[in-house]
Copies of this chain bind each other. A is one copy, B any other.
Amino acid sequence: MTPPSSIETSLEGTRDVEAVILPDLPLTVSGVSARRAKAGTLVAGTAAYSNSDFFKSPGESKPKAKRWDHLLSVESKSRTPSSLKSAARFLKKSGIISLGGGLPCPEYFPIEELTVKVPKPPQFTEQECLESGQLLTAGKYDQSEGTGTYDLSIALNYGQGMGSAQMLRFVTEHTEIVCHPPYRDWQCSLSIGSTSALEQTYRMFCERGDFVLSEEYTFASAVETAAPLGIKFLGIKMDAEGMLADTLDVLLSNWDVEVRGARKPHLVYTVPSGQNPTGATQGVARRKALYKVAQKHDLFIIEDEPYYFLQMQPYTDPNAPGLPLPKTNEEFLKTLIPTYLSMDTDGRVMRMDSFSKVISPGSRIGWITASEQIIERFVRHNECSTQNPSGISQIVLYKILEEGWGHDGYLQWLINLRVQYTKRRDTILAACEKYLPTDIVTWNPPMAGMFLWMNLDWKKHPHARTKRIIEIEDEIFLAAVEQGVLVSRGSWFAAEKASFEPTQLFFRATFAAASEEAMTEAIERFGIAVRASFGL
């Protein structure tokens, strides 16, 4: 059990960089270097307090976010800072000795050095890394010895609820480069992953009995995380670009508290890019339309974007030459679909980012971006629950992202991922075209993410008139297993699973995991199962 850690907060480490006035142009990678040079070395010791304001553009010309007091839950509103933490202010007194907090002495942390071998951009393959990768080492006292900004004595001790200053700086800058939010008081906080951040967000905005709005097919774990909290999902019809803005508007405009047995919903959960399970990516117009509906009905939007950087090259005919890759990081950034955060003039979006799909799920590090008010509530909750991401994970990511790559190298890494995922997607689509009966099975080539969503024309099934779709789904699923391939049943992803009676027949396949050979083989097997079931 943790003694409140921030009583040891080394405030000397923090300084206000707002003094460095920069024009409010979108931040660039070279802009980060210039800003850091002006701000001087980051000094943030054990459990040092920090927040994104230390690291972002002041944005003085931008409006402040709206307040969300009326949407916050009883639980969230009642969170107060701890009395021990407020004592931290006394540590500012020069020469004070603290017998206050219960932080262990780093002398007893049994790790003197930690080294990782990581790729040197742009040599990103495993083989290149093994042969000529860079070795990055953290010692225990690098900061006091002047050889590093973040060391094991800091990373292995307690931290703050928003994460280490060192990692918070990186994700704040990265978020500004990618999203440049249009309001002033946005901030980031590290999370221990988006599943945890999502549960905390439900608890922040919902009471038992509330509805959360989402795509009609959605990430199953988002529904399952909400259910025990007494929160139901309400699915909105979708097309190839995801949730339909008009349908959402109509639903909310006609909300009847009596009929629904619940107050009008105020929370939308959406995966805008490479949606799980449908692979749908919302275009800019769709995003703008949905944001407008959110403004009209005072909705708060959870923008869950684990696949944002798995946006691929446009899909072309297998025999046509692929489109050229972005030549520079700037070009790459321009190819990315604008985020909700980038159009969020009200501060009504919480964006969830994750390192799981782009670095490693095992790091258990993600981050959220929202208005100062929301981030403050989130961090208060962290302090009484998850605390902060593993310091060992944080220092490993810091070494890679900051010392090994920098923002520039990280963007190169993301371009490299685009190449890999494009190849994988093209492989599975080629297999589908070759092995699936295309008069029965159709799909939209995904522009982002890990998933291919296959629509089977159940009306052509020999039992279409005698069996329920869900029974046919079950039969095909089991026949596929019999053939030696596991795919996911569409009905597993229904937002309103408890009462779900499908009207279409879907299966989800991922192209992220299996080798290209195995994937092709798997689709061939699936094709056999489908043909057999449809009597072809």
Q: Which residues of A contact B (CB under 8 A)?
A: 1-5, 7-8, 74-76, 78-80, 82-84, 87, 90-91, 93, 95-105, 107-119, 124, 126, 129-130, 133, 140, 155-159, 192-196, 198-199, 219-222, 224-225, 227-230, 271, 276, 304, 306, 352, 354, 356-357, 359-365, 381, 383-394, 396, 400, 413, 417, 420, 450-451, 481, 484-488, 492, 509-514, 518-519, 521-523, 525-526
Which applies to chain A's interface (DSSP): helix, strand, loop or mixed? mixed
Contact pick for A389, options B390, B396, B512, B521, CB 8 Å: B390
**Least CB separation from A354: chain B residue:** B1
Instruction: Tell me how many chains of this kind the complex includes.
Output: 2
How many angstroms between the C-alpha atoms of A386 and B124 in the bound complex?
30
17 pairs, CB–CB < 8 Å, chain A vs chain B: A1-B354, A79-B228, A80-B224, A84-B220, A87-B488, A97-B514, A99-B509, A99-B526, A100-B510, A104-B513, A107-B126, A107-B420, A108-B417, A112-B126, A112-B133, A155-B362, A195-B387
Inter-subunit contact A103/B361 (CB<8 Å)? yes
| B residues less than 8 Å from A83 (CB atoms) | 220, 492
| B residues less than 8 Å from A117 (CB atoms) | 111-114
Nearest 8 A/B pairs, CB to CB:
A362-B391, A390-B390, A99-B509, A156-B360, A156-B362, A225-B384, A113-B117, A97-B522
Inter-subunit contact A360/B2 (CB<8 Å)? no
Contact pick for A384, options B5, B78, B221, B364, CB 8 Å: B221
Taking the closest CB of chain B, its distance from the CB of A436, in whole angstroms, is 13
Inter-subunit contact A363/B156 (CB<8 Å)? yes
| B residues less than 8 Å from A220 (CB atoms) | 4, 82-84
**Least CB separation from A199: chain B residue:** B385
Inter-subunit contact A98/B514 (CB<8 Å)? yes
**Least CB separation from A194: chain B residue:** B1
| B residues less than 8 Å from A97 (CB atoms) | 484-486, 514, 518-519, 521-522, 525
Q: By CB atoms of chain B within 10 A, which of A2, A155, A196 has the most? A: A2
**Least CB separation from A492: chain B residue:** B83
How many angstroms between the C-alpha atoms of A285 and B95 in the bound complex?
45
How many angstroms between the C-alpha atoms of A384 and B195 in the bound complex?
6
Contact pick for A1, options B133, B156, B352, B525, CB 8 Å: B352
| B residues less than 8 Å from A75 (CB atoms) | 228-230
Instruction: Decide yes or no: A360 and B111 within 8 Å by CB, A84-B220, A93-B484, A481-B93 being known contacts.
Output: yes
Taking the closest CB of chain B, its distance from the CB of A526, in whole angstroms, is 8
Inter-subunit contact B140/A126 (CB<8 Å)? yes
How many angstroms between the C-alpha atoms of A82 and B227 in the bound complex?
11
**Least CB separation from A91: chain B residue:** B486
| B residues less than 8 Å from A512 (CB atoms) | 102-105
Taking the closest CB of chain B, its distance from the CB of A201, in whole angstroms, is 11
Inter-subunit contact A159/B225 (CB<8 Å)? no
**Least CB separation from A113: chain B residue:** B117
Inter-subunit contact A390/B361 (CB<8 Å)? no
| B residues less than 8 Å from A304 (CB atoms) | 1
How many angstroms between the C-alpha atoms of A531 and B206 in the bound complex?
53
**Least CB separation from A416: chain B residue:** B108
How many angstroms between the C-alpha atoms of A87 and B83 in the bound complex?
48
| B residues less than 8 Å from A115 (CB atoms) | 113-116
Taking the closest CB of chain B, its distance from the CB of A388, in whole angstroms, is 8
| B residues less than 8 Å from A198 (CB atoms) | 1
How many angstroms between the C-alpha atoms of A8 and B361 in the bound complex?
14
How many angstroms between the C-alpha atoms of A229 and B513 in the bound complex?
40
**Least CB separation from A358: chain B residue:** B108
Q: With A97-B519, A107-B126, A114-B116 given, can you name 12 additional A-B contacts, CB distance below 8 Å?
A: A1-B195, A7-B486, A75-B228, A84-B492, A93-B484, A99-B486, A99-B522, A104-B361, A104-B512, A110-B413, A362-B390, A363-B390
How many angstroms between the C-alpha atoms of A510 and B2 in the bound complex?
13
Inter-subunit contact A485/B391 (CB<8 Å)? no
How many angstroms between the C-alpha atoms of A361 and B392 in the bound complex?
10
**Least CB separation from A380: chain B residue:** B228
| B residues less than 8 Å from A112 (CB atoms) | 117-118, 126, 129-130, 133
Inter-subunit contact A359/B110 (CB<8 Å)? yes
**Least CB separation from A483: chain B residue:** B96
| B residues less than 8 Å from A111 (CB atoms) | 116-118, 360, 396, 400
| B residues less than 8 Å from A511 (CB atoms) | 99
| B residues less than 8 Å from A509 (CB atoms) | 99
**Least CB separation from A509: chain B residue:** B99
How many angstroms between the C-alpha atoms of A407 and B228 in the bound complex?
39
Inter-subunit contact B360/A109 (CB<8 Å)? yes
Inter-subunit contact B101/A510 (CB<8 Å)? yes
How many angstroms between the C-alpha atoms of A87 and B219 in the bound complex?
16
Contact pick for A99, options B126, B352, B361, B513, CB 8 Å: B513
Instruction: Decide yes or no: A384 and B156 within 8 Å by CB, A2-B194, A87-B488, A450-B102 being known contacts.
Output: no
| B residues less than 8 Å from A451 (CB atoms) | 102
How many angstroms between the C-alpha atoms of A484 and B98 in the bound complex?
8
| B residues less than 8 Å from A487 (CB atoms) | 99-100
